[in-house]
Structure 1
């Protein structure tokens, strides 16, 4: 029965702090997986509510700090994961490993690449053949790493459809 009362209290707190969670998500510039980060923020609010001590001051600033910090931690974790684990398609599209014995595959690949606009083809060449890193490509294309990754994924999806 005591647990039910405590859960009811937290549900009221959660309802009250949902706008704060939304603000924290916007401030961290989350553009995908909104529900994942919202859940991360809710868990942080729960932990903050559990640890809160009335003698330390108001709850709202403490809750916001916990929420914002947990979202940033989750972003760092996701970024580290993306940096360490590249998708297998990088290996499949590595054009520099095509040998003369695979000329039929090379011709097919060349035809497939020629269906792309020049800018999209150039991005793939820069990334896969020239070996530029995302950091180097951000200065060349004047955009963010996330935008480049998304653009590359869209190009690869387009190639798959044409295949």
Structure 2
């Protein structure tokens, strides 16, 4: 069977068949890029990339398998870059500052901290306040917050970290 016929056959397959056929390639790419944690997340990103390649396939423009390989590897590299940039930009902060403010508010003996807390919370968007209140006051997990607000768990985790960092900067400016 010629290469062109194989390409046409591959392009004519259903998405599920193509995805199943490229699983070894995806595993190879993940191994080559030394991805050992969040493996399922990156496999999901690869599956989406296969879907995108399958949707855009044009057998007259070259090898379909090469296009899938380039698309999958490119999307995984983009995500790795995003993760690296996020890690460089955002420092995960202890919850000490928010716990401190919350404890001071509950004690009620220092009006300054209550005013500061109200000021800090008023500077946040509604969804940011909701995330903080659900997490710190209601004791919701990231998964429960994600379900409540219609967000992904990853989005809730990242947003909470950004909000804490934002509040930390504001607290140091105020004091």
| TM norm structure 1 | 0.49
TM-score (normalizing by structure 2):
0.46
